Amino acid sequence: MQTAPFWGKKRLRPVLQLQYRLRSTIFQDSLYNCVSNLAQAVMPERSTGSFFGEKWANWRIAVVLLLVAWLYAPIVARLAQQWWSDPNFSHGFFVPAFSAFVLWQDRFRLAAISRKPSSWGLPLILLALAMLVLGVFGAELFLSRLSLIALAAGLVIFFLGWQMLRAVLFPLLFSILMVPIPAIVFGQITFPLQILASKLAAWSLPLCGVPVLREGNVINLPAMPLEVAEACSGIRSLLSLTTLAIMYGYLMEKRVGVRTILALASIPIAVAANGFRIIGTGLLVQYWDPDKAEGFFHAFSGWLIFVVSLFLLFMLHQALKFMTERNEVSA
């Protein structure tokens, strides 16, 4: 076999090396493109895997919710029983129903939020469980009931993330209104309201020609003494009207400032309305029949005053809307 001369080998070697490099470069580019296309083709399989991962996460959430339901079933049962038996907290039935309605109304917005679980929810979960243990063994119903809301917030952070917590923060905070006030705090609020209603009636009835002598929460009229009892303190209408004011503001108003004004205005409206109820009862006793201070007329006056309070709240909202629209037009 005849071999090429030495000088031919030196001339052909750079050309062969160049061809080899070109071919290897082309092959590497083709291989890279194939791998990229293959990776893109495999992406649905990865998303399928994440889908199964999400299903597993959903199963874990379902198991935790079942454990929470088993753990808090006696507490929720006693809570519902108090709503049913205690008229001061009968508004509690509407609170979880409205919170569930808010979550259902925002279901599409909540579904679009990406899940970013955070381990910072675990300390809040442990704190809620500690509150539950202290409330159960210490016979403190308020603490054990409040732990349910704290536990719900911790579970949201742990499984869904902080962004989801911000999205459901309003219904969570609103759920606090379903927890009855502790008896000690309830007494500290009720008695000043009794005194305030008595003073308002003692100041207003003489303007209507009815002489009054007030002794604490007892209003002595010429016809009979009239006691402003705990049931007539206005705490019932105050709690109910505040709850309804928050619900009304959320449904009928988008501006947070106006919602806050409506919620805060419900307090003086409820107190003033209860004072007018006491005044009306005093006039009814003095100029008609002392027996009308009890029974049907007494209960009917409570419902009537509450309806008037709702109407005043509605008129306040309309006035705020009118003032806002007028300022926007003038600007």
What is the tens place of the pLDDT at every residue in 248-272?
999 998 889 999 999 999 999 999 9
pLDDT for the residue numbered 247:
95
Statement: residue 61 has pLDDT above 60: yes
Report how far residue 42's alpha carbon sits from residue 320's, in angstroms, rounded to the nearest whole number: 58
Residue 191, amino acid: F
Tokens encoding 260: 């806050």
Residue with tokens 């309806």: 307
Most confident of 36-40, 63-67, 307-311: 307-311
Counting Cα atoms < 13 Å in the Cβ hemisphere of 326 gives: 6
Reduced to 3 states, what is the DSSP secondary structure of residue 30?
helix
What's the average model confidence in pLDDT over 159-181?
A: 94
Q: What is the pLDDT of residue 331?
A: 61
For 74, counting Cβ atoms within 10 Å of its Cβ (0-12 exposed, 13-18 middle, 19+ buried), the class is: exposed
Report the percentage of the chain scoring pLDDT > 70.
Answer: 79
| Each residue's pLDDT tens digit, 269-281 | 999 988 888 888 8
- Span 141-162, pLDDT tens digits: 899 999 999 999 999 999 899 9
Of 298 and 203, the structure prediction assigns the larger pLDDT to: 203
Return the closest-CA partner of residue 127 out of 159, 157, 151, 158.
151
Question: So what's the pLDDT on residue 208?
Answer: 84
The Cα–Cα gap between 328 and 322 comes to 10
The C-alpha atoms of residue 243 and residue 235 are separated, in whole angstroms, by 12
pLDDT surpassing 90 at residue 22: no
- The CA-based dihedral angle spanning residues 69, 72, 76, 77, taken in that order and rounded to the nearest 10 degrees: 90
Q: How confident is the model at residue 81 (pLDDT cuts 50, 70, 90)?
A: very high
Provide the whole-model pTM: 0.77
Per-residue pLDDT, averaged over 119-133, amounts to 93
Checking if the pLDDT of 20 tops 60, the result is no
DSSP 170-198: HHHHHGGGGSPPPHHHHHHHHHHHHHHHH
Q: Any idea where the domains of the chain sit in the sequence?
A: 56-178, 183-330
Strand partners, 11: none
